[in-house]
Chains A and B, each alone.
Chain A
Amino acid sequence: MHTVSLLVENKPGALARVSNVFARRGFNIESLAVGPTERPDVSRITLRVECSQDSLEQLEKQMHKLVNVLRVSTLEAGEAVERELALVKVSAPPSRRAELMALAEVFHARVADLGPDAIVFEIVGHPEEIASFEELVRPHGVKELARTGRIGLGRASAGRSRRPQHILR
């Protein structure tokens, strides 16, 4: 699985052109996040795709050729900070709440909303953390789940080995 980060002009159709490069070659985009950057005229697309290294190179070259695409880069695991946000609505009758809250605390998940028999948790973290959280709450009954798709940036400490302990995985 590869994470590709693109800077594109914030123009209509830019996303369609990028996704078409994948679709027409039969590749499925596993996750996709689009949002603004520090420049209002530029958007960042972060996407995940399962393909061979050769195919990835071809996809990158094809995306480079798109008029709206300003930059294409691959985020290598370990050299990039990658995050995702998820909202998870879990069945939570009063008898199970304490257990769920304890679990949430371990994962730094927040309670975004609380109902009589369900809690909506909000969790931000590395996508693998979110997957672990999801797995642990699943036995309690996940009613609904929404994930943003991962976003990422190259490390500020790129080239140096030192980085904050809590994001070491």
Chain B
Amino acid sequence: MRMLGSDAILRSLEAEGVDVAFGLPGGAILPTYDAFARGTTVRHVLARHEQGAGHMAEGYARASGRVGVAIATSGPGVTNLVTAIADAWMDSTPLVCITGQVRSALIGTDAFQETDATGITLPIVKHSWLVQDVHELPHVLKAAFHVARTGRPGPVLVDVAKDVQETELDFHYPDEVDLPGWRPPKGVHPRQIAEAAKAIVRAERPILYVGGGTINGEACSELLDLAEAGSIPVVTTLMAKGAFPDSHPLACGAPGMHGSKWANWALNKADLLIAVGTRFDDRVTGKLAAFAPGAQVIHFDIDPAEIGKLRRADIPVVGPLRPALAQLTEELKLLTRPGHPGPAAWRRQIEQWRAAFPYRYEREGDFLKPQAVLEALRDLTAGRDDVIWTTGVGQHQMWAMQYLVCDRPRTFITSGGLGTMGYGLPAAVGAKAARPDATVICVDGDGCFQMTCQELATSALEGLPITVVIVNNGWLGMVRQWQEMFYDSRFAETHLTHQVPDYAQLAEAYGCAGFTASSEDELESVLEEALDCGRTAVVDARCDPEEKCFPMIPAGAAATDVIEFTDLQEQESVEA
């Protein structure tokens, strides 16, 4: 069919089954927005900042498992998208970013709002295209979606010159991609699976170390089958929260810098690490040489480059996780009789650690405790299966990881690898667009919230109601914690204050409901009211400014060097 390049972009999005796109118009992408005006089945959500649009697309992708789409103009439009692209790159979130570029004839001349978009994003995309010939457009978009979602998911960028959007073509959306150099692994090697099964049967202290790839690979029910078939304890990283039910008896919670002591000890004492879709990140391993020092490693990943990148894999298994885990469970069942207790003594040991070292904090004091806010949210939503959490980055994120209970994948959406403050609110808006039926709650910090709070307008006006709970301690809390612990309490430039801005008033100004709570009693009723109000609500929970997040393994230290909440220090030496 004869049409303009701009219309071809929308027909391509429709052909890909895209129902929502997030963006903000500007000069070089105007023809494509004109195509939106001419009509499409793609809903456009207008962000207030391109970074917000990018994180919304990420939140959409994480909540739905589909590819997120962000649209921006050239120059500052695309540079504002860069943080979201980098975030999606680090957390393997499938994203197609469509950006306008100046006219072909002006490219390379420092034209108004010209930026080398493919150049500036080169190290943080799976691939990118600069489209200067309208006839390439359908093929490029087909390839873009294919590359974003296949193999290890991630962001791609399609930069389209303005004149290409204005030129006619005979549109036909291709059925196949022509990418001879793109061959993500399809199957897994049966011999590696057999080796892995034998190693699991041999092991006395096996542990599943599960990462976000398990969710990306849609392998969560296979993971559950595997864990139950072998009675193997499961540690889930921040990115994998929800990949395995938090309330399952085999769940050990999160490892790492602010993970539970029992999870870290379990990893430390294991003799077999079954790593699944995870990348041995430094926030999990601490000192690499001291991470699971006595363990043999089975490493499952779709990305061959992750195998052996940081920790040598004794049994590498490259390929899609879903069939890999299913085959491993089958193989394991062949090697064990039904009802086999698995590593029962090991599980008892972990249970003892769990009982001895729960997450704890001192509830007394003049201030509302941030942990109490998370506990209140957990209790308020207990038993509900419609809740999706998003977070910013910092102390509140770690408390959310520690205290919230997620029993389903795609219900805990956070910025892991890049650690992007300001991710939570726009990601919540994107998650709500993907799952309108869900109750989306963003647990945010006061520092984080101020980085992207303009997206309250998007949430209010686009009919995407969410609840934002600001764990407001008046500080850049995690930075303050490091200053107190490692910089002799020299609190340089971290004090934000509880009062400025007045978050409830700010919310009202954006057409949302605003609430403030300073005590546990107040908090409970305010949270209920906020969740029930039917529109976007912001709860300013004014918390203890000095509360620190424990346990904590200092950067570069070993799991055994964990710093605990003071009360637990005595028991620590007994157990060690």
Contacts from A to B (Cβ < 8 Å): 8-9, 12-13, 16-17, 20, 24, 54, 57-58, 61-62, 64-70
Contact = CB atoms under 8 A, between A and B. Distances in A.
Interface string B95-122: 0000000000000000000000011001
B123 A62 contact: no
Contact of A62 (B122, B128, B130, B305): B305
Given A16-B122, A17-B122, A20-B123, A68 B181 contact: yes
A57 B307 CA distance: 10
B309 interface: yes
Contacts of A16: 119, 122
Interface SS of chain A: helix, strand, loop or mixed? mixed
Contact of B122 (A8, A20, A58, A65): A20
Given A13-B122, A70-B181, 4 more contacts: A9-B180, A17-B122, A58-B305, A65-B126
B123 A70 contact: no
Contacts of A54: 308
A58 B309 contact: yes
A61 B130 contact: no
B304 to A, nearest CB: 5
Contacts, number: 42
A12 B130 contact: yes
Given A16-B119, A16-B122, A17-B122, A67 B182 contact: yes
B492 interface: no
B181 A13 contact: no
Contacts of B123: 20, 24
A70 B118 CA distance: 21
Contacts of A8: 181
Contacts of A9: 180-181
Contacts of A58: 305, 308-309
B232 interface: no
Contact of A57 (B147, B180, B181, B308): B308
A67 B127 contact: yes
Nearest to A63: B305
A32 to B, nearest CB: 17
Given A13-B118, A16-B119, A67 B308 contact: no
A17 B122 CA distance: 7
Interface of B: 118-119, 122-123, 126-128, 130, 143, 147, 151, 179-182, 303-305, 308-309
Nearest to A19: B122
A112 to B, nearest CB: 35
Contact of B181 (A12, A24, A69): A69
A150 to B, nearest CB: 24
B147 A65 contact: no
A78 B118 CA distance: 40
22 contacts: A8-B181, A9-B181, A12-B130, A13-B118, A13-B128, A13-B130, A16-B122, A20-B122, A20-B123, A54-B308, A58-B305, A58-B308, A61-B304, A64-B305, A65-B151, A66-B127, A66-B181, A67-B143, A68-B127, A68-B181, A70-B180, A70-B181
Given A9-B180, A9-B181, A70-B181, A64 B122 contact: no
Nearest to A16: B122
Going nearest first, the 6 A-B pairs with the smallest beta carbon separation are A61-B305, A67-B127, A70-B181, A67-B182, A69-B181, A24-B123
Contacts of A67: 126-127, 143, 147, 179, 181-182
B303 A65 contact: yes
A62 to B, nearest CB: 5
Nearest to A60: B305
Most A CB within 10 A of own CB, among B126, B143, B151, B181: B181
Contacts of B119: 16
Nearest to B152: A65
Nearest to B154: A65
A20 B121 CA distance: 11
B120 to A, nearest CB: 12
Contacts of B118: 13
A62 B152 CA distance: 13
Contacts of A24: 123
Most B CB within 10 A of own CB, among A17, A58, A65: A65
A66 B123 CA distance: 11
A58 B310 CA distance: 10
A57 B304 CA distance: 11
A166 B530 CA distance: 84
Contacts of B127: 66-68
